[in-house]
Amino acid sequence: MTVFSRREVIGAGLGAAAVAMLPVGRLRAAEFINILTGGTAGVYYPLGVALSKIYAEIPDARVQVQSTKASVENLNLLQQGKGELAFTLGDSLASAWNGDEEAGFAKPLDKLRGLASIYPNFIQIVASKESGIKTMQDLKGKRVSVGAPKSGTELNARTIFKAAGLSYDDLGKVEYLPFAESVELMKNRQLDATLQSAGLGVASIRDLSSSIDVQIVEIPADLTDSIGPPYVTATIPAGTYTGQDADVTTAAVLNFLVTHEGVSEETAYQMTKRLFDNLDQLAAAHAAAKGITLDGALKGMPLPLHAGAEKFYKEKGLV
C-alpha cells in the first residue's frame, strides 16, 4: 500500500480545489460552429464568412464556413446536427418546421430553433436583352435556370410561376443550376433567363449585367399579393445592376438565421449578441446586410427561438 505524507495529501487537495475554481470556459471542450451558407456567388456565403470572423472571438469557439445548396440542404443538415448555424429562406423554414415533403422535408424538423430574422431575399428574374423577354409570360418556350434542385430559390420559382399561371412544362428548357453556373450559361447564350432569390446587388447578377445587356423582369404586385405571406411586394431600385435605369417591382421573402436545440444556450446567446453587435462588419461584407435590424429580429419567425437567443432578446426588451 502506498503511504502519502500529510504535505502530499494537502497539496493534492489544494490542486483539486484550484481546478474546481477554474472558469468553466477553461475546462470546456472546443465549441464547434459550422456555418451553413449557400453558393459562393450568392449572399449567404460572404455573410457567413463575415460571421465566422466575428464568431472566432467567442471563447473556445472553432468556426468554419460550409458552402451548400442553401436553404433546404441547410435545414436538413441542422436537423442531423451537421451544423450549428444556417441561413435559410422563410418559406423553406416554415415548410421544414411543418414537414412539407414536396418542399424537401419528409417529416417535421423538430430540432430546429430560431436565432434571428435578417434581411429580405428579392426574387430576381433576369433575362438577356436579346431573348426578347420583358414579362413573365414571355418566359414561355424559353431556356430558364430556376436554381439548384429543391433549393430555396427553386421553391420560390415554383411558387412564383404557379401564381403567374406558368409551369416548368411551359418553358422551353429548365436548368437546375446555382447562381454562378446560370450566369456562365447566359453569357455563352445557352440560357435566356435565370431566377435568383438573393439580396440586392448579388454578385452573380452584377457579374452578368456587366457582361451582357440584361432585362430585369417585373413580378407584378397583384401576383405577389395573390400568394400572400411570407411573400411581400418589393422594389429593385434603379441602378442596382448595370443598365437598369428604372425601378423594378418584384417579390421578396425574409431570410432567417437558424440553429438547433443541441447548441448550448451560451453559444446561441453569443451568436445572437455578436450578430447584432457587429452589423457594420456584415454590411461591409455585403450590402444586403444593411437590411438586418434589431427591431426586425423577430419578424415572421415561424418556429420557437433557441433559449440562448431568447435570453438576448429579453435583455433588449424584445421578448
Q: Which residues contact 24 (CB under 8 A, 6 or more apart)?
A: none
Provide the number of structural domains found in the chain.
Answer: 2
Q: Are residues 125 and 240 in the same domain?
A: yes
Domain span holding position 134: 121-253
- Of 203, 232, 253, the one marking the end of a domain is 253
Q: What is the pLDDT of residue 148?
A: 87
Q: How far is CA 17 from the centre of its chain?
A: 46
Q: Are residues 244 and 190 in the same domain?
A: yes
- When pLDDT is averaged across residues 150-161 and rounded to a whole number, the result is 92
Q: Are residues 183 and 62 in the same domain?
A: no
Mean pLDDT of the chain: 91
Cβ 157 vs Cβ 167: under 8 Å: no
- Of 202, 220, 253, the one marking the end of a domain is 253
Q: What is the pLDDT of residue 41?
A: 87
By CB neighbour count within 10 A (0-12 exposed, 13-18 middle, 19+ buried), where does 114 fall? buried
Calculate what percentage of the chain has a pLDDT beyond 70.
91
Q: Which residues contact 144 (CB under 8 A, 6 or more apart)?
A: 171, 172, 173, 174, 175, 191, 192, 193, 194, 195
Q: What is the pLDDT of residue 153?
A: 92
Q: What is the pLDDT of residue 19?
A: 36
- What whole-number distance in Å separates Cα of residue 245 and Cα of residue 237? 9
Q: Are residues 200 and 236 in the same domain?
A: yes
Domain contains 6? no
Residue-wise pLDDT for 74-90, tens only, equals: 999 999 999 999 999 99
> Pairing mode, if any, of strands 31-36 and 85-89?
parallel
Residue-wise pLDDT for 170-189, tens only, equals: 999 999 999 999 999 999 99
Domain contains 22? no
Residue-wise pLDDT for 216-271, tens only, equals: 999 999 999 999 888 889 999 999 999 999 999 999 999 999 999 999 999 999 99
Q: Are residues 216 and 305 in the same domain?
A: no
| Set of cell numbers at residue 292 | 438586418
Residue-wise pLDDT for 88-119, tens only, equals: 999 999 999 999 998 999 999 999 999 999 99
Domain contains 18? no
Q: What is the pLDDT of residue 28?
A: 53
Nearest to 71 by CA among 294, 255, 272: 255
Residue-wise pLDDT for 2-33, tens only, equals: 444 444 434 444 343 333 333 444 435 688 99
- Of 253, 269, 299, the one marking the end of a domain is 253
Q: Are residues 283 and 169 in the same domain?
A: no
Q: Are residues 162 and 135 in the same domain?
A: yes
Domain contains 181? yes
Half-sphere exposure of 266 (CA within 13 A, CB side): 9
Cβ 182 vs Cβ 196: under 8 Å: yes
Q: What is the pLDDT of residue 20?
A: 37
Q: What is the pLDDT of residue 294?
A: 98
